[in-house]
Amino acid sequence: MTRLSVVLGDLTTQQVDAVVNAANSELLGGGGVDGAIHAAGGRVIYDECLELRRTTWRHGLPTGEAVVTTAGALPAQWVIHTVGPRYGRHAGMEAALLAACHRSSLDLAWGVGARTVAFPAISCGVYGYPPEEAAPIAVGAVQAYVDEHPRAFEEVRFVLVSEPLWALFSDAVARSDRHGTVE
């Protein structure tokens, strides 16, 4: 049975099999979580993303989709890059796209054999998604996935950089999950 957890911390230091990157569609680094992952993971992540852009995703990764690379110097084995929705720019489909980010990321994590996965608060930074709306969507999507695939993962962790985000995600986990922990 999968355990959902919520921690206050730095995504780039998590001892998990896969970390999820809140990437932009270009996949070549940016600000926030994306910039931190590229900086901490090193050039190998950039090079693999560049190859994905050159071959598979020539026009960029669409919102709600995900791709996987190795993790370079990060303590994880893989980085799963997903593009979250920009709030107010998807004709009312933001919630569905945010949920899709989580589902497609978990599909890839399961596909590479990851047993532990860490997510940031996708789209809650420069993409402007209100965290109080995003937290229950993100947690609900993860909970639905692990309910459907109960033995796919040991732990899915939300790693938040601020106490207000931590509180919102902790509340969402407490409301939706029978096996969650808050640290």
Under 8 Å between Cβ of 139 and 172: yes
Q: Could you report the per-residue pLDDT of 39-98, keeping only the tens digit for each?
A: 999 999 999 999 999 999 999 999 999 999 999 999 999 999 999 999 999 899 999 999
As a whole number of angstroms, the distance between CA 146 and CA 134 comes to 18
H-helix or E-strand containing 2?
none
As a whole number of angstroms, the distance between CA 158 and CA 129 comes to 16
Domain holding 11, by residue range, is 3-182
Residues classed as catalytic: 34
Per-residue CA distances from 49 to 21, 35, 85, 126 (Å): 12, 13, 20, 21
Is the pLDDT confidence value at 180 over 80? Answer: no
Q: Could you report the per-residue pLDDT of 117-137, keeping only the tens digit for each?
A: 999 999 999 999 999 999 999
As a whole number of angstroms, the distance between CA 122 and CA 20 comes to 9
Phi (first) and psi of residue 121, to 5 degrees: -85, 85
Is the pLDDT confidence value at 182 over 70? Answer: no
Per-residue confidence (pLDDT) for residue 175, from 0 to 100: 87
Per-residue confidence (pLDDT) for residue 122, from 0 to 100: 98
User: Would strands 155-160 and 78-83 be described as parallel, antiparallel, or unpaired?
Assistant: unpaired
Q: Any idea which residue has 């004709």 for tokens?
A: 91
Count of structural domains, the chain: 1
Q: Could you report the per-residue pLDDT of 83-122, keeping only the tens digit for each?
A: 999 999 989 999 999 999 999 999 999 999 999 999 999 9
Residue 121 has, within 13 A of its CA and on its CB side, a CA count of 31
Per-residue confidence (pLDDT) for residue 83, from 0 to 100: 97
Q: Could you report the per-residue pLDDT of 141-171, keeping only the tens digit for each?
A: 999 999 999 999 999 999 999 999 999 999 9
User: Would strands 78-83 and 18-23 be described as parallel, antiparallel, or unpaired?
Assistant: parallel
**More confident call, 179 vs 6:** 6
Is the pLDDT confidence value at 11 over 70? Answer: yes
Per-residue confidence (pLDDT) for residue 178, from 0 to 100: 54
> What is the domain-level CATH number for residue 36?
3.40.220.10
| Burial of 130 per CB tally in 10 Å (0-12, 13-18, 19+) | exposed
Is the pLDDT confidence value at 181 over 80? Answer: no
Tokens of 170: 């902790």
Phi (first) and psi of residue 64, to 5 degrees: 90, -15
Is the pLDDT confidence value at 12 over 80? Answer: yes
